Amino acid sequence: MAGKIQRLDKLISNSFDYSRSQVKELIKKKKVLVNDNIVLTPELKVNPDSDKIVVDGQNLNYAEFVYYMLNKPAGVVSATNDNTCKTVLELIKNPAKSGLFPVGRLDKDTEGLLIITNDGELSHSLLSPKKHVDKTYYVETDAIITDEMADKLEKGVDIGDEKPTLPAKIEIIKVDNSNTNKAYLTITEGRFHQVKRMFKSVGPTVTFLKRISMSKLMLDESLKPGEYRELTDEELCLLKGE
């Protein structure tokens, strides 16, 4: 993808931990090189993909997009802004980029894996109904999940929409060979309250819900609810299904 032509000072302050005035000072002190030449004009237009930019001895490695893995806690909403509730974006302190948004929604009381990014194209392809991206949830319910219920959930259930849910995968967590009220459910759609409605349609009420994977990317369980970190390159490939 072609890099965006942009102002040198803006690019440097977005890429390093410098304010615009610090960048201006560095430029004045002749500490900024573009293609091996000292630059004295902060407003110079540069292309971060093709211009070699060195700031105080450090190469500027430009990344257009940023990807955070958040372990969403219960009690915050998956929105960019909200008049009454805290949003997932408010959890990201000093974001590396502006224009961040969550990839899809988890309910306010749902925990787990949520990607926060500024990459609209990736978000679109992960959420597209045509792509059938796997999403796996850890589910606790108010009743034992029977094999019969699991069978129905796997085949697809009527949750009051035009069409039944697409085939899903379920693994009931067993203790001493007996079914429990806990399971992993993998779905390929993203309908409103889908997991809760699927369970309700076969009986039990969901009492706890946590997303543990999206595409081939697993939630890093060392992240406590509310914690986040940038994805590694390998994790980004997993998310893209590569």
Nearer to ligand URA, 110 or 215 (CB): 110
Strands 53-55 and 32-34: antiparallel
Nearer to ligand URA, 14 or 110 (CB): 110
Q: Residue 177 CB, nearest distance to ligand URA (Å)? A: 29
Distances (CA, A) of 231 to 37, 86, 234, 236, 238: 34, 23, 8, 6, 10
Q: Which residues in the 35-64 window bind ligand URA by CB under 6 A?
A: none
- Measured from the Cβ of residue 143, the count of other Cβ atoms closer than 10 Å reads 13
Is position 30 an interface residue for ligand URA (rule: CB under 6 A)? no
Torsion angle defined by CA atoms of residues 143, 149, 154 and 157, in that order, rounded to the nearest 10 degrees: -100
The region of 49-57, 102-110, 117-125, 231-239 touching ligand URA under the rule CB under 6 A is 102-110
Nearer to ligand URA, 117 or 194 (CB): 194
Is position 165 an interface residue for ligand URA (rule: CB under 6 A)? no
Which residue from 143, 147, 134 is spatially nearest to 211, judged by alpha carbons? Answer: 134
Q: Give the separation between CA 21 and CA 3, rounded to whole angstroms.
A: 24
Q: Residue 105 CB, nearest distance to ligand URA (Å)? A: 7
Residue 8 phi/psi, 5° resolution? -60, -50
Q: Residue 32 CB, nearest distance to ligand URA (Å)? A: 46
Q: What residues are labeled active site?
A: 107
| Rg (alpha carbons) of the chain, rounded to whole number | 23
Site string for ligand URA, 173-212 (x = CB under 6 A): --------------------xxxx------------x---
Across-strand partners of 17?
A: none
Nearer to ligand URA, 97 or 191 (CB): 191
Is position 106 an interface residue for ligand URA (rule: CB under 6 A)? yes
Q: Residue 195 CB, nearest distance to ligand URA (Å)? A: 3
Number of residues engaging ligand URA in binding (CB under 6 A): 8
Which residue from 135, 240, 122, 128 is spatially nearest to 186, judged by alpha carbons? Answer: 135
Q: Which residues in the 110-129 window bind ligand URA by CB under 6 A?
A: 110
Nearer to ligand URA, 46 or 206 (CB): 206
Q: Residue 123 CB, nearest distance to ligand URA (Å)? A: 16
CB-hemisphere CA count at 13 Å for 48? 19
Q: Are 72 and 225 in contact (CB under 8 A)?
A: yes
Binding residues for ligand URA, per CB under 6 A?
106-107, 110, 193-196, 209
